[in-house]
């Protein structure tokens, strides 16, 4: 279950989404504003890894400026580790690996879902 507004955070259910609403709404509003002002942060299809990382750094910087504060660790992770297709960086219509919940693929690249390092990603998921 993803935030309907910013699409940057996922929840296990509606109850947890509602519990987090007041904590999330300031960050959410800023992300929405930035994505409208700078739509290229959402247009990440086919970016190479270097450009993808740079776009995430720029979005972190602008978000900090808009909020006039440092980001909480999970907020920074929502930007730097944004869900995107492991192959083409598309950020919409993603299918997540049902074992590690970390590798994401668009419908065009879903056949590659078995090619990622699931065991290591699953360990990271449980540690985090």
Whose tokens are 């360990």? That residue is 123
Burial grade of 90 (CB within 10 A; 0-12, 13-18, 19 or more): buried
Tell whether the model's pLDDT for residue 92 goes beyond 90: no
Which pTM does this prediction carry?
0.80
* Mean local confidence (pLDDT), 84-102: 87
Query: In what helix (H) or strand (E) does residue 60 lie, and over which residues does it extend?
Result: helix 49-67
Cα Rg of the chain, angstroms: 15
* Mean local confidence (pLDDT), 114-123: 81
Tell whether the model's pLDDT for residue 119 goes beyond 90: no
What pLDDT was estimated at residue 63? Answer: 97
pLDDT digits (tens, 9 = 90+) for 59-72: 999 999 999 999 99
What pLDDT was estimated at residue 128? Answer: 66
């Amino acid at each position: 279950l993803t935030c309907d507004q910013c699409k940057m955070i996922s929840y296990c259910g509606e109850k947890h989404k509602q519990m987090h609403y007041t904590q999330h709404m300031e960050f959410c509003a800023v992300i929405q504003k930035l994505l409208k002002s700078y739509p290229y942060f959402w247009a990440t299809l086919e970016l190479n890894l270097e450009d993808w990382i740079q776009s995430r750094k720029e979005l972190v910087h602008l978000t900090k400026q808009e909020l006039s504060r440092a980001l909480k660790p999970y907020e920074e992770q929502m930007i730097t580790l944004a869900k995107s297709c492991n192959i083409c960086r598309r950020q919409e219509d993603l299918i997540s690996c049902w074992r590690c919940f970390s590798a994401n693929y668009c419908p065009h690249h879903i056949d590659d879902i078995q090619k990622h390092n699931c065991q290591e990603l699953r360990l990271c998921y449980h540690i985090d």
